[in-house]
């Protein structure tokens, strides 16, 4: 849906912008959510992982889980932005991918789920 | 009438930033919903886009500040390894332990998805601008993610309010 020049429809100006960067941002958001879910579950399943993620004694493993999730999100966004920057990838496809990733991420943060992986 | 320093921070985290988040969500939602070509003139578009950008950016900033103050300021007081901490008191009673083992454990994680999605929406609005008017699919995508960001924050906020009611940070 991109054009090489900006267009005017009626009196409203529409600057030329491809959808690729939007799709990249949407998918990256899903990746961030998934990272949080995976890290939460791993921290519950392994005391070694939980100890490694305890970057602040006052906050506990949540400190590393959240910082790592944000880092993963930002790295994913950067990479995907360069990959899809000029691509016509539709936001509908990106949204479906993101929904799946977010759903998995929410599952990973759901106590009934991740606590099932706690060591006996 | 007096609040301790810890209670002030709990208020900032839950009520002041929470109120800013809610107001920004309301304004952003109305802005995204009504961004349709048949509803606005050129002057209306300029005015609405400005307001929409402020709304979505404010919501993203409020969401980030909420999770940062919650995780790095209030949460350490909540989980202090002393018998009088809210976490210790909740876990000491079988009637209240689920407020921590389910409530806080979910709240402290799911809340962080909200600012990520709110930032995605802010990017879409700032980057795509008036194209949201003629590309309805992208506008609806932004709207969906905006509501999702709010929903995750609402879950975290509700659980926080309930936990504070049972065992507040003092």
Render pLDDT for B9-36 as a digit per residue (tens, 0 to 9).
999 999 999 899 999 999 999 999 988 8
Q: Is residue B105 over pLDDT 90?
A: yes
**Closest residue of A to B69, CA-based?**
A59
Confidence of residue A61 (pLDDT cuts 50, 70, 90): very high
Q: Report percent pLDDT > 70 for chain A.
A: 91
Tell me what pLDDT residue A3 has: 40
Tell me what pLDDT residue B53 has: 94
**β-bridge partners, A114:** none
ipTM of predicted assembly, 2 dp: 0.92
What is the mean predicted confidence (pLDDT) over A91-115?
A: 95
- Whether the CB of A33 is below 8 Å from some CB of chain B: the reply is yes
| Cβ contact A63–B76 (<8 Å) | no
Confidence of residue B38 (pLDDT cuts 50, 70, 90): confident
What is the mean predicted confidence (pLDDT) over A43-62?
A: 96
Residues of B in CB contact (< 8 Å) with A are 37, 40-42, 45, 67, 71-72, 75-76, 79, 101-102, 105-106, 108-110, 112-113, 116-117, 119-120, 123-124, 127-131, 133-135, 137-138, 141, 144-145, 148, 152
Tokens of B12: 């900032």
Q: Where are the domains of chain A?
A: 18-117
Return residues 35-74 of A near B (CB < 8 Å): 36-37, 40, 56, 58-60, 62-63, 65-66, 69-70, 73
Tell me what pLDDT residue B140 has: 94
The answer to whether the Cα torsion of B37, B38, B41, B44 is positive or negative is: negative
What is the mean predicted confidence (pLDDT) over B62-78?
A: 96
> Cβ distance A37 to A106 under 8 Å?
yes
The beta-carbon neighbor of B120 closest among A17, A25, A58 is: A25
Measure the CA–CA gap between A72 and A111, rounded to whole angstroms: 22
- Whether the CB of A104 is below 8 Å from some CB of chain B: the reply is no
3-state secondary structure of A12: strand
CA of B158 vs chain A CAs: smallest distance (Å): 15
Tokens of B130: 């008036």
Tell me what pLDDT residue A10 has: 56
> Cβ distance A30 to A46 under 8 Å?
no
What is the mean predicted confidence (pLDDT) over B94-120?
A: 96
């Amino acid at each position: 849906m991109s054009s090489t020049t900006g267009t005017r429809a009626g009196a409203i100006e529409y600057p030329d912008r491809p959808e690729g960067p939007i799709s990249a941002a949407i998918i990256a958001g899903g990746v961030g959510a998934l990272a949080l879910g995976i890290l939460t579950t791993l921290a519950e399943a392994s005391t070694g992982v939980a100890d490694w993620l305890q970057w602040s004694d006052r906050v506990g493993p949540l400190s590393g889980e959240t910082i790592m999730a944000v880092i993963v999100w930002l790295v994913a966004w950067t990479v995907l932005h360069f990959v899809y920057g000029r691509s016509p990838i539709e936001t509908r496809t990106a949204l479906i991918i993101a929904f799946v990733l977010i759903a998995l991420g929410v599952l990973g943060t759901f106590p009934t789920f991740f606590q099932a992986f706690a060591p006996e | 009438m007096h609040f301790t320093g810890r209670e002030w921070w709990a208020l900032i985290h839950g009520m002041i930033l929470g109120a800013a988040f809610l107001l920004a969500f309301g304004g952003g939602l109305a802005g995204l919903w009504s961004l349709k070509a048949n509803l606005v003139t050129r002057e209306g578009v300029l005015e609405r886009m400005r307001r929409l950008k402020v709304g979505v950016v404010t919501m993203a900033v409020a969401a980030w500040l909420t999770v940062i103050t919650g995780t790095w300021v209030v949460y350490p007081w909540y989980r202090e390894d002393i018998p009088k901490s809210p976490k210790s008191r909740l876990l000491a009673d079988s009637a209240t332990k689920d407020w921590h083992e389910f409530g806080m454990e979910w709240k402290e994680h799911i809340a962080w998805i909200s600012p990520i999605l709110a930032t995605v929406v802010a990017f879409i609005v700032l980057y795509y601008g008036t194209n949201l008017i003629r590309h309805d699919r992208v506008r609806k995508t932004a709207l969906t993610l905006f509501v999702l960001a709010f929903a995750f924050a609402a879950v975290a906020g509700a659980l926080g309010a309930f936990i504070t009611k049972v065992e507040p940070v003092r």
